[in-house]
Amino acid sequence: MDHYGLRRLPLFTIAIFSAMSIGVEAFSAAPSPIIGTLQKVSGTAVVLRQDQILPAKAGLEIQAKDTLRTGTDGSLGVVFHDDTSLSLGPGSVLVIDEFVYAPRQGKLSLVLRMMKGTAVYLSGLIEKLAPDSVHFVTPSASVGFRGTKFAVKVEER
């Protein structure tokens, strides 16, 4: 290989690795599995998903890592695939940090992070099968489950 070809080799290598990394990013950006569905929506509410803002409407499918946000006049209700029910009141922000429902593989986990607002939670099968796998996190506390229903209010600081 001549001197000119050696100078082009690093550029060719960079181009190949750049193309490979774009492919990896595209693969890793595949959509998360559907974990639940919005059942009821009233007033202003949105679902934040990666860089998207989706208007909340009944029937919208929810994914892990979604953020649910209601306006001052909004509320919404979600039913997860394990039959967990969650209702958010006005001015609420909740992040679904994790949802894993694979009972045959013994993989069960639900982690919800309430940033502000009000919520009512009714446990589903994950809590019944693996109570230590469900966590509800707030700015000042983390709740583990031993019951089936609770309400929480998180005020802004």
Bridge partners, 153 (sequence order): 118
Entry pTM: 0.77
The dihedral of CA 130, 85, 102, 116: what is its sign?
negative
- 12 half-sphere exposure, CB direction, 13 A CA radius: 6
**What pLDDT, on the 0 to 100 scale, is given for residue 156?**
74
- Tens digits of per-residue pLDDT, 69-107? 999 999 999 999 999 999 999 999 999 999 999 999 999
DSSP state of 30: P
* pLDDT at residue number 144: 56
> What local confidence, expressed as pLDDT, does residue 3 receive?
53
Q: What is the pLDDT of residue 120?
A: 94
pLDDT exceeds 70 at position 32: yes
CB 119 within 8 A of CB 150: no
Tokens for 125, please give them.
Answer: 């099968």
Q: Output 153 or 137, whichever has higher pLDDT.
A: 137
Residue 109 has pLDDT above 50, yes or no: yes
